Chain A
């Protein structure tokens, strides 16, 4: 029941908040939404207590028949790394509710309702062990994101939200066809339809169709993540979304997409020839470089962060296609770190933006003198994305690089390792530039003089994120253990594109 409660709690909270939506009860609606988000977070923490690392495979499993003639079941379960993603979702949900407190010009409680729905859909996507349930959760997540961006975003919100939804729907409609096709193959093989992960991951797919299934699923993978050259929705959405919405896009939508793709879609992919892996790795490493260079050319802090995330996801994709355990481990670690980082970045930049009504790089400078607190947080956040030993980003990226370079089945693994390393250097250049232009130097704009430093509420939002990011950097052992411990060899090798399916 535990996981169902986790899915239903934000949903019930959303219904309750909707009922309180009148302007007169505005504050109580907000308080209810924040309270539900907090309780959901507490519930995920409670799950850690009863979760046992000794048991391999999913825990807290529930299974009920749902649409029996078609083999669909309400089937949920979670393993350690999934639990980490759930905790992340719940945490980001609390943050988003908290920072949305002060923005409510259009619909008093609508944004709070939408964000709770988003949280619920994200949870459902992560815990689902049935492909159709997973698909429904993912689709719902996209739909709610569309509403969050479109209804409460900035000037170009409608255009950006619509483009986002259309791109995602195109990918997911092809994915749905592929999923149905796999379920039908199961029916041919065994006589019953099935959408269970275990059943479909071990399915034999005829050679002639493999390429098609592969293309449909990989297309969804690349759009969802997103990876260059189909990444354009992410910077737009992150820039146009309202601040709490951007926290959720970076901290929930992207990691849930990445997690789901790694754990659900990749195991479904039939084995493909190494040449496919070569082309993917080539495009992905071009994406890394492209993202880094594009970030160097940007002048808007929001867009810089978003472009860097795209670049990071390129590394994630190459690591995903490599079959070494180090690469896959690093990919999962980095996914979590990236989500934390993007949440922290959106918040810090959002706070700068609230003070100056702009996030243009040229508008800042010398903030260290006026706002030491916010500047310190900004510096820590920026530094944690640099790939140096001791930073959070280093933990995952170093493992991924190691995995990519030592990958034997990947043709020219070292070449890609080198390309990625070049991209990583470019990230660092970009971030140093940002650091210098925002915090360092002299005050060049008069408006930067009398700015207010972080207040207690803002500290309470940002501090845990920064502390955890630093902790992951200096003491990565627990996170790495978690990924290593709960990632049994079976799915790591199933992920291998160049390797063999067990």
Chain B
């Protein structure tokens, strides 16, 4: 193994090294300024991994070794590292919590990042499945350390039970596939399946169904979505933003690889099933969001609809579709993480802003915070000039291009319902008057600045989506 062969692993190695550093820094305990040290170490580490990922993406595919880093994986690496920086920077510095607790949380986030990176780069079905399961397990732990013990534990326990069940079936599917084809590498798996594609054996189809079910569980597609709302409302706000965004991105990356590389010969078989899942997911998400009163569950339902949209892009395998899916994932991820971070900031001290009605009049009492949240929500609703609109339009274009016009119409109509759901909070913030004056927690300048970066990115991508779309096209071209 030459030195060049290590290059693709550099971001991953940096993250792993950072985990060690944070553990060391965190274990030194003691108060004072040491509390800051762990955070700084974590941020520097993730930022370095981010820079390395950008470099690797820039240099093009590095198809070396067993765990290959191509532009597709690097694209996601950049997104995850950016999310990681955001997740580590955004929460307040530990004052009420002990510093070790903070270090523990940061380590979990870094571990999730490392697992996601492995999952995104995995060219092997077994590696990808295990890495995703590890990611998922870490997010369950992140849920479990929530401040509100009962709720957090309950959510984590539910997720664990559901995941254990689905995970077992999923791994059974992986094993079955290996048993039938004698192969677990995605590309060779595809050739093996293609060799017998005229008459795919029942076992292969069964195995595929189990694997797809597992992946649908990770991306929280209907009917495997129940854990998502519990987790996001059980975890603390900052962690909820990280885990919902990161996990869905990871799940979609692996789903795309598995479906479009390994199971590409069986497209005729999985297309109707995936179409049904996509359609039902978006409709269920939008309809659930319309009447949901808990803001975190509301945003989770909105995310569910976006999963459905992204799955539409995954189906339309024509180059545009995969790139549109990547674009839409990034757009959704930014808005989702931003919205969760803002809700977390509003619930940190004093009156917890949990219910939709808690936001009544916020637009007049905290104009800047309300404006930032509004733009995040508008992006989630897919209204111009935000990244959400560009993503929705690209996905619709891909669907139309692939001849799935009914699907495009369904997605378009669903987005109307979605808009209504997203604007419910906006209506509360700007349009409804309430005699009750709610105590508003202070939102620190750092939080506002961090959110302003995200919101500026959302608007910039909405006004000028070309660079990211080009990048997505390039990333996709190397794989599919």
Q: List residues of A whose CB falls within 8 A of some B CB.
A: 21, 65-70, 106-107, 132, 135-136, 139-140, 143, 146-147, 150-151, 157-158, 161-162, 165-166, 169-170, 173-174, 176-177, 180-181, 183-184, 187, 193
Q: List residues of B whose CB falls within 8 A of some A CB.
A: 320, 363-364, 367, 378, 383-385, 389-390, 393-394, 396-397, 400-401, 405, 408-409, 412-413, 415-416, 419-420, 423, 427, 430-432, 464-466, 469-470, 473
Q: Give the residue of A70, A136, A181 whose beta carbon is less than 8 angstroms from that of B384.
A: A136
Whether B397 pairs with A68 at a CB distance below 8 angstroms is no
Whether A143 pairs with B416 at a CB distance below 8 angstroms is no
Whether B396 pairs with A177 at a CB distance below 8 angstroms is yes
Whether B385 pairs with A136 at a CB distance below 8 angstroms is yes
Q: Please, which residues of chain B bring their CB within 8 A of the CB of A21?
A: 367
The 3 closest A-B pairs by CB, nearest first: A173-B412, A136-B384, A150-B431
Q: Please, which residues of chain A bring their CB within 8 A of the CB of B466?
A: 65-69
Q: Please, which residues of chain A bring their CB within 8 A of the CB of B385?
A: 136, 140
Given A150-B427, A150-B430: A184 and B412 interface contact (C-beta under 8 Å) = no
Give Cα distance in the complex from A84 to B464, angstroms: 30
Whether B409 pairs with A139 at a CB distance below 8 angstroms is no
Given A106-B364, A184-B397: A176 and B469 interface contact (C-beta under 8 Å) = no
Whether A181 pairs with B416 at a CB distance below 8 angstroms is no
Whether A69 pairs with B473 at a CB distance below 8 angstroms is yes
Q: Please, which residues of chain B bring their CB within 8 A of the CB of A69?
A: 320, 466, 469-470, 473
Q: Please, which residues of chain A bring their CB within 8 A of the CB of B470?
A: 69
Query: How far does the Cβ of B431 sit from chain A's closest Cβ, in whole Å?
Result: 4
Query: How far does the Cβ of B405 sit from chain A's closest Cβ, in whole Å?
Result: 7
Give Cα distance in the complex from A166 to B400, angstroms: 23
Whether B383 pairs with A183 at a CB distance below 8 angstroms is no
Chain A residue with Cβ nearest B419: A169
Whether A166 pairs with B364 at a CB distance below 8 angstroms is no
Given A68-B466, A169-B416: A177 and B408 interface contact (C-beta under 8 Å) = yes
Supply 20 further A-B pairs (C-beta < 8 A) apart from A140-B383, A158-B427, A165-B419: A66-B466, A68-B466, A69-B469, A70-B320, A106-B364, A107-B363, A107-B367, A132-B393, A135-B384, A139-B383, A139-B384, A143-B378, A143-B383, A161-B431, A162-B423, A166-B419, A169-B416, A177-B400, A181-B400, A184-B397
Given A67-B469, A70-B394, A150-B431: A180 and B423 interface contact (C-beta under 8 Å) = no
Give Cα distance in the complex from A143 to B423, angstroms: 10
Whether A170 pairs with B416 at a CB distance below 8 angstroms is yes
Query: How far does the Cβ of B98 sit from chain A's closest Cβ, in whole Å?
Result: 40
Q: Please, which residues of chain B bring their CB within 8 A of the CB of A70?
A: 320, 394, 397, 469
Whether B383 pairs with A176 at a CB distance below 8 angstroms is no
Chain A residue with Cβ nearest B414: A173
Q: Please, which residues of chain B bring their CB within 8 A of the CB of A187?
A: 401
Give Cα distance in the complex from A151 to B374, angstroms: 14
Q: Please, which residues of chain A bring their CB within 8 A of the CB of B430?
A: 147, 150-151
Q: Give the residue of B378, B408, B416, B427 whose beta carbon is less than 8 angstroms from that of A180.
A: B408
Query: How far does the Cβ of B194 sit from chain A's closest Cβ, in whole Å?
Result: 28
Q: Please, which residues of chain B bring their CB within 8 A of the CB of A140?
A: 383-385
Q: Please, which residues of chain A bring their CB within 8 A of the CB of B415?
A: 169, 173
Q: Please, which residues of chain B bring their CB within 8 A of the CB of A183?
A: 397
Whether A180 pairs with B420 at a CB distance below 8 angstroms is no
25 of the cross-chain contacts (CB-CB < 8 Å) are: A65-B466, A66-B464, A66-B466, A67-B390, A68-B466, A69-B469, A70-B397, A70-B469, A135-B384, A136-B384, A139-B383, A140-B383, A140-B384, A143-B383, A150-B430, A166-B420, A170-B413, A170-B416, A173-B412, A173-B416, A174-B409, A176-B393, A180-B393, A183-B397, A193-B397
Whether B397 pairs with A180 at a CB distance below 8 angstroms is yes
Give Cα distance in the complex from A150 to B389, angstroms: 22
Query: How far does the Cβ of B445 sit from chain A's closest Cβ, in whole Å?
Result: 17
Give Cα distance in the complex from A106 to B363, angstroms: 10
Give Cα distance in the complex from A106 to B465, angstroms: 36
Q: Please, which residues of chain A bring their CB within 8 A of the CB of B420?
A: 162, 165-166
Give Cα distance in the complex from A67 to B463, angstroms: 10
Chain A residue with Cβ nearest B433: A106
Q: Please, which residues of chain B bring their CB within 8 A of the CB of A143?
A: 378, 383
Query: How far does the Cβ of A192 sit from chain B's closest Cβ, in whole Å?
Result: 13
Q: Please, which residues of chain B bring their CB within 8 A of the CB of A106?
A: 364
Chain B residue with Cβ nearest A187: B401
Give Cα distance in the complex from A165 to B396, angstroms: 21
Q: Give the residue of B383, B389, B397, B412 whose beta carbon is less than 8 angstroms from that of A174.
A: B412
Query: How far does the Cβ of A212 sit from chain B's closest Cβ, in whole Å?
Result: 8
Query: How far does the Cβ of B385 sit from chain A's closest Cβ, in whole Å?
Result: 6
Q: Give the residue of B383, B413, B431, B465 whose beta carbon is less than 8 angstroms from that of A151.
A: B431
Query: How far does the Cβ of B282 sit from chain A's closest Cβ, in whole Å?
Result: 13
For A132, A143, A180, the residue with the greatest tally of chain B CB atoms inside 10 Å of its CB is A180
Give Cα distance in the complex from A107 to B412, angstroms: 34
Q: Please, which residues of chain B bring their CB within 8 A of the CB of A184?
A: 397, 400-401
Give Cα distance in the complex from A161 to B397, angstroms: 29
Whether B394 pairs with A157 at a CB distance below 8 angstroms is no
Give Cα distance in the complex from A151 to B383, angstroms: 18
Whether A158 pairs with B394 at a CB distance below 8 angstroms is no
Query: How far does the Cβ of B472 sit from chain A's closest Cβ, in whole Å?
Result: 10
Give Cα distance in the complex from A66 to B466, angstroms: 7
For B364, B416, B432, B464, the residue with the greatest tally of chain A CB atoms inside 10 Å of its CB is B416
Give Cα distance in the complex from A70 to B323, angstroms: 12
Query: How far does the Cβ of A22 sit from chain B's closest Cβ, in whole Å?
Result: 10
Q: Please, which residues of chain A bring their CB within 8 A of the CB of B367?
A: 21, 107
Whether A136 pairs with B389 at a CB distance below 8 angstroms is yes
Query: How far does the Cβ of A89 sit from chain B's closest Cβ, in whole Å?
Result: 19
Give Cα distance in the complex from A68 to B415, angstroms: 25
Q: Please, which residues of chain B bring their CB within 8 A of the CB of A181?
A: 400, 405
Q: Please, which residues of chain B bring their CB within 8 A of the CB of A139?
A: 383-384, 389
Q: Give the residue of B401, B416, B465 whose beta carbon is less than 8 angstroms from that of A166.
A: B416
Whether B384 pairs with A180 at a CB distance below 8 angstroms is no
Query: How far does the Cβ of A149 sit from chain B's closest Cβ, in whole Å?
Result: 9
Give Cα distance in the complex from A21 to B154, angstroms: 45
Whether B364 pairs with A165 at a CB distance below 8 angstroms is no
Query: How far does the Cβ of B70 sit from chain A's closest Cβ, in whole Å?
Result: 20
Give Cα distance in the complex from A176 to B384, angstroms: 12
Give Cα distance in the complex from A21 to B473, angstroms: 42
Q: Please, which residues of chain B bring their CB within 8 A of the CB of A158?
A: 427, 431-432
Chain A residue with Cβ nearest B401: A184
Give Cα distance in the complex from A180 to B465, angstroms: 17
Query: How far does the Cβ of B476 sit from chain A's closest Cβ, in whole Å?
Result: 12
Give Cα distance in the complex from A174 to B409, angstroms: 7
Chain A residue with Cβ nearest B371: A18
Whether A177 pairs with B412 at a CB distance below 8 angstroms is yes
Chain A residue with Cβ nearest B417: A166
